Amino acid sequence: MATYTPMIQQYLKIKAEYQDAFLFFRLGDFYEMFFEDAVRAAHVLEITLTSREGGVDERIPMCGVPYHAAPNYIEQLVLNGYKVAICEQVEDPKQAKGVVKREVVQLITPGTVMEGKSLEDKQNNYIASLTVMEDLTYGFCYNDLSTGELQVTVLNDWNEVISELLSTGAKEIVVSSELPEQNRKQLQERCFVTVSYEDLKIQLDEVTPIVESLQEDKQKVTVSRLLHYLIRTQKRKLDHIQVPEYYTVQQFMKIDMYSKRNLELIETIRSKGKKGSLLWLLDETMTAMGGRLLKAWIDRPLIDANKIKTRQNMVEALLAQFFQRSELREKLKEVYDIERLAGRVAFGNVNARDLVQLRRSLQQIPFIQATVSELELPYAKKLAADMDGCEDLLVLLEQALKEQPPLSVKEGDMIKDGYSERLDKYRDASRNGKTWIAELEQKEREITGIKSLKIGYNRVFGYYIEVTKSNIGLLAEGRYERKQTLANAERYITPELKDKEALILEAEEKIVQLEYELFISLRDQVKVYIPRLQRLAKMISEIDVLQAFAVVSEERHFVKPVMSNDHTLKVLNGRHPVVEKMMDSQEYVANDCMMNDDRQVLLITGPNMSGKSTYMRQIALTAILAQIGCFVSAEEAILPIFDQVFTRIGAADDLISGQSTFMVEMLEAKNAISNATHNSLILFDEIGRGTSTYDGMALAQAIIEYIHEHIKAKTLFSTHYHELTALEEELPHLQNVHVRAIEQNGKVVFLHKVQEGAADKSYGIHVAELAELPLPLISRARELLATFEGEKISKHPAKKLSTIKEEETQLSFFTEEAAATKESVIPDKEKEIIKLIKTIPLMEMTPMDAMNKLYELQKKLK
Interface residues toward ligand ADP, by CB under 6 A: 579, 588-589, 591, 606, 608-614, 752
User: Using CA atoms, how far apart are residues 130 and 254, in angstroms rounded to an integer?
Assistant: 20
Beta-bridge partner residues of 645: 255, 681
Q: Tell me the C-alpha to C-alpha distance, in Å, between residue 735 and each of 564, 597, 706, 732.
A: 21, 12, 15, 8
Nearer Cβ to ligand ADP (282/604): 604
Q: Least distance (Å) from ligand ADP to the CB of residue 371?
A: 38
| AA identity, residue 505 | L
- Looking at residue 403, what DSSP letter applies? S
Q: Least distance (Å) from ligand ADP to the CB of residue 581?
A: 12
> Three-state DSSP class for 97?
coil
User: Using CA atoms, how far apart are residues 758 and 421, in angstroms rounded to an integer?
Assistant: 86
Q: Least distance (Å) from ligand ADP to the CB of residue 718?
A: 6
Closest CA relative to residue 193, chosen from 201, 183, 202: 183
> Three-state DSSP class for 316?
helix
User: Using CA atoms, how far apart are residues 136 and 156, in angstroms rounded to an integer?
Assistant: 8
- Check: CB of residue 351 under 8 Å from CB of residue 407: yes
Closest CA relative to residue 728, chosen from 698, 752, 708: 708
Nearer Cβ to ligand ADP (240/612): 612
Nearer Cβ to ligand ADP (45/589): 589
- Check: CB of residue 492 under 8 Å from CB of residue 483: yes
Nearer Cβ to ligand ADP (549/750): 750
Nearer Cβ to ligand ADP (612/648): 612
Nearer Cβ to ligand ADP (606/629): 606
Nearer Cβ to ligand ADP (285/591): 591
Nearer Cβ to ligand ADP (324/573): 573
Non-local (6+) Cβ contacts of 475 within 8 A are 448, 450, 467, 492
Nearer Cβ to ligand ADP (589/711): 589
Beta-bridge partner residues of 107: 85
User: Using CA atoms, how far apart are residues 58 and 725, in angstroms rounded to an integer?
Assistant: 79
Q: Determine the angle formed by the axes of helices 352-374 and 378-386, rounding to 10 degrees.
A: 150
User: Using CA atoms, how far apart are residues 72 and 69, in angstroms rounded to an integer?
Assistant: 6
Q: Least distance (Å) from ligand ADP to the CB of residue 607?
A: 7
Q: Least distance (Å) from ligand ADP to the CB of residue 702?
A: 22
Q: Least distance (Å) from ligand ADP to the CB of residue 749?
A: 12
Sign of CA dihedral 183, 186, 191, 196: positive
Q: Least distance (Å) from ligand ADP to the CB of residue 612?
A: 4
Task: Encode 821-855: b = buried (16+ Cβ within 10 Å), e = exposed.
Answer: ebeeebeeeeeebeeeeeeeeeeeeeeeeeeeeee
Nearer Cβ to ligand ADP (453/620): 620
> Three-state DSSP class for 732?
coil
Nearer Cβ to ligand ADP (722/792): 722
Q: Tell me the C-alpha to C-alpha distance, in Å, between residue 703 and each of 258, 604, 733.
A: 19, 15, 14
Strand arrangement, sheet containing 569-574: 562-564, 636-640, 569-574, 591-595
Nearer Cβ to ligand ADP (57/584): 584
Nearer Cβ to ligand ADP (609/669): 609
Closest CA relative to residue 805, chosen from 821, 791, 823, 825: 791
Q: Least distance (Å) from ligand ADP to the CB of residue 579?
A: 6
- Check: CB of residue 582 under 8 Å from CB of residue 706: no
Q: Least distance (Å) from ligand ADP to the CB of residue 611?
A: 3
Kindly provide the residue ranges of all beta strands, DSSP E only, lying in 634-789, ordered along the sequence.
636-640, 644-648, 681-685, 714-718, 734-744, 747-756
Q: Least distance (Å) from ligand ADP to the CB of residue 275?
A: 15
Strand arrangement, sheet containing 245-246: 194-197, 172-175, 126-132, 138-144, 150-155, 245-246
Nearer Cβ to ligand ADP (287/718): 718
Q: Least distance (Å) from ligand ADP to the CB of residue 648?
A: 13
Q: Least distance (Å) from ligand ADP to the CB of residue 661?
A: 16
Q: Determine the angle formed by the axes of helices 352-374 and 391-400, rounding to 10 degrees.
A: 140
Q: Least distance (Å) from ligand ADP to the CB of residue 362?
A: 47
Closest CA relative to residue 265, chosen from 625, 651, 641: 625
Q: Least distance (Å) from ligand ADP to the CB of residue 667?
A: 21
Q: Least distance (Å) from ligand ADP to the CB of residue 853?
A: 51
Nearer Cβ to ligand ADP (489/770): 770
